[in-house]
Amino acid sequence: MTDTQWNDDDPMDARLRDLANEYNRPTGVVPREAMWQAIAPTVRAAAQAPDIAPAGTPSITRKRRTIAPFAWSTALAAGLVLGIMLEREVLAPRGGTVDTTPRGADSRQVATTTPIPMSGATVVAKAPDRTTQVATTNTPQVERRGARATATNESAPATGSTTTDIGANAQQLYRLAARQTLVQAEALLTAYRASDDQPRDQESMQQAGRWARDVLTSTRLLLDSPAANDPQMRALFTDLELVLAQIVQLSGAPLQAGERELIERAMRDRDLLPRLRSAVPAGATAD
Amino acid sequence: MDGQQQQLDEADLIARVRAGDEAAGRKLYDAHVDRVFWLAYRMSGRHELAQDFTQDAFIRAFSRLNEYRGEAAFGSWLHTIAVSVILNGLQKVKRFDQREAVLDEAVMVPSRTRHAEPDLKERLKKAIDALPEGCRTVFLLHDVEGYTHEEIGSALEITAGTSKAQLSRARAKLRESLADFAGEWVHD
């Protein structure tokens, strides 16, 4: 006898199979008319307005209403992720060093990370070491990229202006991605705190959770990118990651008071909102 | 009526429903409601839940009819929605069921004397209820409702191989749970 099939020759298997059919064996009649009364409005409404469910289907209509405010954030997050991935896949190999994680011999040449200025954020520049020996221009990020390109392409001299352009583009891309993520995070956390006094149902918690998950994805990508070379920015991203992870984790059900307090305390202890606001220039939008 | 003809008729019905023909919607509903309802009943064991799940499944199906591209049979598409609705619905009542099961076990006094059939039926029911959710679903869909592994895979968004593995696990667990009955049948 195998586990994968019933064995008809085995009396136990044969009996089990027969008895399994008795499990919750349907009895009585199917209440067709009663169910149709609830379903028919959907059929009528589907024909009149194919994309809008009728009043008889509260769960579906509620879902459509509540999703709308979050749709833009999802689209934005998707754009962010795509942008960062594109930069990594397309720009990094040609432009040289984008990922600052030490990787074998190459890591010696990129051991010093040059921070990418963030809009409105305080930038602390690390003192460059070896790479400063070949740095000759006024733009640290571009210098590093230029030096790296020269070092890795000695047999085929790099086209300086192209590399500089790519480096500048990457820098701009990271700056934009970081700013958008921070704007998103600020909006999310502000909305989250503003809803303190309102009773929250599971649906809205799940929506907030989805929004937080999108921002969390962007935050983690940025943490692993040169955008996090700035120590202050890295610390901000790390704290943000923690709070967002808590919101995501607890978004499956309405929050208990203790759980909410946990998130609130994490935000308060880290001065998260004030730091986010100071990192994002006034008037900045998630464009 | 052969399968191809049935599919053509259904395609026609679906087109009419999309055009606003409520009678066509009713025909489509009548053609599938029994199977959906019995499936919901098998999986929930409660008439009122089966009714709720069936209604919800049809409401979703009709409201998303524009998403149906005709790549699979309408019945398969509908059952995919139904299985999803039923499993989600069962998740919501699961906590209550678990509490109830604990109470049942607490008041149940083990009996030495067994009346083979009623006792076995009851034990089998409890054993099926106790299966892990994935195993139980696959077991009921395959062994009780007669779905193929491909249909199950499509409905549960798993591979046919995973469905087979879950079924195998379910059967093994049932045999194990009811092993003490084996001797009686051998000597019958």
> Where residue A126 falls among pLDDT bands split at 50, 70, 90?
very low
Better pLDDT: A224 or A206? A224
Of B20, B29, B128, the CB nearest to A39: B29
Better pLDDT: A271 or B159? B159
The pLDDT score that the predictor gives to residue B165 is: 92
Which of B18, B63, B122 is best to mutate for the A interface (most A CBs within 10 A)? Answer: B63
Average pLDDT, integer, range A154-163: 49
Average pLDDT, integer, range A89-109: 45
Domain topology for B113-178: Arc Repressor Mutant, subunit A (1.10.10)
The pLDDT score that the predictor gives to residue B182 is: 67
Nearest chain A CA: its distance from B121 CA (Å): 7
Query: Taking CA atoms, what residue in B is nearest to A46?
Result: B63
Among left, alpha and beta (phi > 0; psi -120 to 50; other), residue A28 is left
The pLDDT score that the predictor gives to residue A142 is: 38
Determine, yes or no, domain membership for A63.
no
Interval A28-53: pLDDT, tens: 889 999 999 999 888 887 666 544 44
Which of B26, B47, B58, B59 is best to mutate for the A interface (most A CBs within 10 A)? Answer: B59
Whole domain around residue A193: which residue ranges?
A: 73-279
DSSP A201-245: -HHHHHHHHHHHHHHHHHHHHHHTSGGG-SHHHHHHHHHHHHHHH
CATH class of B1-108: mainly alpha
Of A3, A15, A43, the CB nearest to B25: A43
Which of A12, A51, A202 is best to mutate for the B interface (most B CBs within 10 A)? Answer: A12
On whether the CB atoms of residues B43 and A37 are closer than 8 A, the answer is no
B123 touches chain A (CB under 8 A): no
Q: How far apart are CA A100 and CA A224, in angstroms?
A: 8
Q: How far apart are CA A279 and CA A240, in angstroms?
A: 12
Interface pTM (ipTM) of the complex?
A: 0.76
In the predicted model, is pLDDT for residue A130 greater than 80?
A: no
Per the listing, tokens 């089998």 go with B124
Q: How far apart are CA B87 and CA B92, in angstroms?
A: 9
B42 touches chain A (CB under 8 A): yes
Residues in chain B closer than 8 A to A13 (CB atoms) = 175
Better pLDDT: A251 or A105? A251
A22 touches chain B (CB under 8 A): yes
A33 touches chain B (CB under 8 A): no
Average pLDDT, integer, range B125-153: 89
Task: Average the pLDDT over each of A137-141, A246-250, B62-66 and give the range with the smallest value.
Answer: A137-141
Nearest chain A CA: its distance from B13 CA (Å): 12
Per the listing, tokens 């700035």 go with A230
Instruction: For the beta carbon of residue B155, count every other beta carbon within 10 angstroms.
Output: 24
> Where residue A161 falls among pLDDT bands split at 50, 70, 90?
low
Task: Please state, rounded to an integer, the average pLDDT across all residues of chain A.
Answer: 63
Domain count across chain A: 1
Task: Average the pLDDT over each of B6-15, B19-28, B177-186 and give the range with the smallest value.
Answer: B177-186
How many residue contacts between A and B have a Cβ separation below 8 Å? 128
Instruction: For the beta carbon of residue B180, count every other beta carbon within 10 angstroms.
Output: 9
Query: Taking CA atoms, what residue in A is nearest to B15?
Result: A47
B56 touches chain A (CB under 8 A): yes
Of A32, A46, A50, the CB nearest to B33: A32
Task: Average the pLDDT over each of A79-93, B66-80, B82-96, B148-162 and give the range with the smallest value.
Answer: A79-93
A positions 152-181 inside 8 Å of B (CB): none
Alpha helices in chain B (DSSP H): 3-18, 22-44, 47-63, 74-107, 116-130, 133-139, 149-156, 160-177, 182-186
Instruction: For the beta carbon of residue A205, count every other beta carbon within 10 angstroms.
Output: 18
**Structure tokens given for B116:** 């083979």
On whether the CB atoms of residues A130 and A112 are closer than 8 A, the answer is yes
Determine, yes or no, domain membership for A14.
no
Task: Name the 3-class secondary structure at A161.
Answer: helix
The DSSP symbol for B113 reads: S
**Structure tokens given for A15:** 């009996």
Task: Average the pLDDT over each of A106-120, B12-26, B141-155 and give the range with the smallest value.
Answer: A106-120
Q: What values do phi and psi take at B17, rounded to 5?
A: -60, -45
Residues in chain A closer than 8 A to B44 (CB atoms) = 24
In the predicted model, is pLDDT for residue B44 greater than 70?
A: yes
Q: What values do phi and psi take at B112, rounded to 5?
A: -80, -40
Average pLDDT, integer, range A59-63: 37
The pLDDT score that the predictor gives to residue A124 is: 37
The pLDDT score that the predictor gives to residue A181 is: 85
Residues of chain B with CATH 1.10.1740.10: 1-108
Determine, yes or no, domain membership for A213.
yes
A12 touches chain B (CB under 8 A): yes
The pLDDT score that the predictor gives to residue A119 is: 41
Determine, yes or no, domain membership for A18.
no
Average pLDDT, integer, range A242-254: 70
The proportion of chain B whose per-residue pLDDT surpasses 90, expressed as a percent, equals 31
The pLDDT score that the predictor gives to residue B56 is: 93
B164 touches chain A (CB under 8 A): yes
Residues in chain A closer than 8 A to B42 (CB atoms) = 23-26
Determine, yes or no, domain membership for A166.
yes
Determine, yes or no, domain membership for A46.
no
Interval B79-121: pLDDT, tens: 989 999 998 888 877 755 555 555 555 545 444 444 445 677 8
Residues in chain B closer than 8 A to A16 (CB atoms) = 124, 174-175, 178
Average pLDDT, integer, range A185-199: 70
> Where residue B36 falls among pLDDT bands split at 50, 70, 90?
very high
The proportion of chain A whose per-residue pLDDT surpasses 70, expressed as a percent, equals 42
Instruction: For the beta carbon of residue A225, count every other beta carbon within 10 angstroms.
Output: 23
The DSSP symbol for B108 reads: P
Better pLDDT: A267 or A256? A267
Query: Taking CA atoms, what residue in A is nearest to B165?
Result: A4
Determine, yes or no, domain membership for A68.
no
**Structure tokens given for A98:** 């984008």
CB contact under 8 A, B22 and A40: yes
C-alpha distance from residue B107 to each of A150, B110, B178 (Å): 80, 10, 21
